[in-house]
Amino acid sequence: MTHRVTQRGITAGAATAVAAAALTLLSTGAAHAAPDSVTWTDRVATVTRTVSDATPKAGDTITVTTKFERGTSPDLQLNWLRDFHDACLTYVTDSAKVNDGTGDKPVEPYLEIRPGFVAGDFTATSYRVTVKAGGPVTFTVRYTVGTSCTRGTPLSSGSAFGSSLGQGDYNSYGPFVTVAKDGGDGGGVSTGSLGSLLGTGSSK
């Protein structure tokens, strides 16, 4: 038995409202990004690492941000920072930036790029990276998710750094990225569903 929904008897105002609701559902389904972050504190600084999408698909580009904060003096000078990632992620050229509150500064060409990490050498740059009390510093880098990434399994992630006040090695602290399995994002609205909402589709 086939049931066809028509727009007959629906007022213009109601039709507009239904269309708006359908578009809202579409936009909600498309926005599948799920940011995640982890924070820890050691004797040197409070570190927060954030990933723009913890459940990306192969081919997506994600942004990883590492923020350093201090609550008291003395100032902390960062000498180097290593951003660990799974080897199936590929660094996006020229994406590494550091910001001390005065704007983004490029890290290349003083950036070591390896399959499992990228590392910025701030002793070689023309600027110095200083974390002051109440003045956070962020290191941002972008990666492309490769087709070789294992699906549905958390990938390794973390950071390490050297500074004027000591070193820290947190290469497995996360946040962890889990590449979505094939078969769609599971959150979208099909054109058939949209047609039904607008009164132009059919279902059996």
- The count of structural domains within the chain is 2
Asked whether the predicted pLDDT for residue 147 surpasses 60, the reply is yes
C-alpha span between 48 and 167 (Å, rounded): 16
Q: What is the mean pLDDT of residues 119-125?
A: 97
pLDDT interval class at 200 (50, 70, 90): very low
Asked if residue 176 belongs to a domain, the reply is no
Range of the domain at 22: 3-31+185-203
Residues 21 and 81 in one domain: no
Tokens 């290593």 label which residue? Answer: 82
Residues 12 and 81 in one domain: no
Residues 98 and 133 in one domain: yes
What pLDDT does 6 receive? 32
What CATH number did the domain enclosing 156 receive?
2.60.40.740
Residues 105 and 197 in one domain: no
What pLDDT does 182 receive? 73
Asked if residue 179 belongs to a domain, the reply is no
Asked if residue 175 belongs to a domain, the reply is no
Q: What is the dihedral of CA 35, 102, 157, 119, to 10 degrees?
A: 150
What pLDDT does 69 receive? 98
Q: What is the mean pLDDT of residues 78-105?
A: 97
Residues 193 and 125 in one domain: no
C-alpha span between 131 and 68 (Å, rounded): 7
What pLDDT does 121 receive? 98
